[in-house]
Structure 1
Amino acid sequence: MKGPRYPAEYGDRFIDCEADLEAEILAVLELAEAAGWGRPEAIAAITSLADNIALGDAAMADGWERLQKALKHNRGEN
């Protein structure tokens, strides 16, 4: 993968990320098809996994934030 063109945010960053990931995702689809999975079900599985990863990341971030607040509260901080 090439990675982002610039370290900071820029207009086409999301598009560049998609382009970088596309070849990898297509390779995973080919592996899935070679193993006997249908392309539509492999795409659905990849989509579901991406959603689950995003939900898990959000839950972890929320849990971490709650833990930090609880620790501050226990120390008498605001």
Structure 2
Amino acid sequence: MNRPSIARPRRPRNHPDRFLECQRAVEDTVVSAIGEASAAGWQKDEIIAAMIAVADDMQLALNAKVLLSVETELGKLMKKYR
């Protein structure tokens, strides 16, 4: 199956409608992925639960990278000013 292309953002990062715009941009791709997984034999409830778990894991990893980056920079500053 060909997945739909995802539109580029049209609004700046701090615009109140940007999140909704992003949801709309990825919706067709998500629906397509669900269709592919369903055609492969997975049930829709388990597909969606798996997608949520993957997205949650990715968010946690992103937060961990940010935290690690902040800790690294703080460590550098502490060494600099000792």
One fold, TM greater than 0.5?
Answer: yes
Question: Which structure exhibits the higher relative contact order, with contacts defined as CA atoms closer than 8 Å and separated by 6 or more residues?
Answer: 2
1:9 shift after superposition: 2.5
Runs (4 or more) in structure 1 with deviation over 6 Å come to none
How many residues get paired?
A: 77
Q: TM-score, normalised by structure 2?
A: 0.84
**Does 2:17 match 1:12?**
yes
**Does 2:74 match 1:69?**
yes
RMSD: 1.4
1:44 equivalent among 20, 41, 49 = 49
1:32 shift after superposition: 0.7
Q: Calculate percent identity across the aligned residue pairs.
A: 27
**Which letter does structure 1 place at the counterpart of 2:16?**
G
**Does 2:70 match 1:56?**
no
1:8 shift after superposition: 4.4
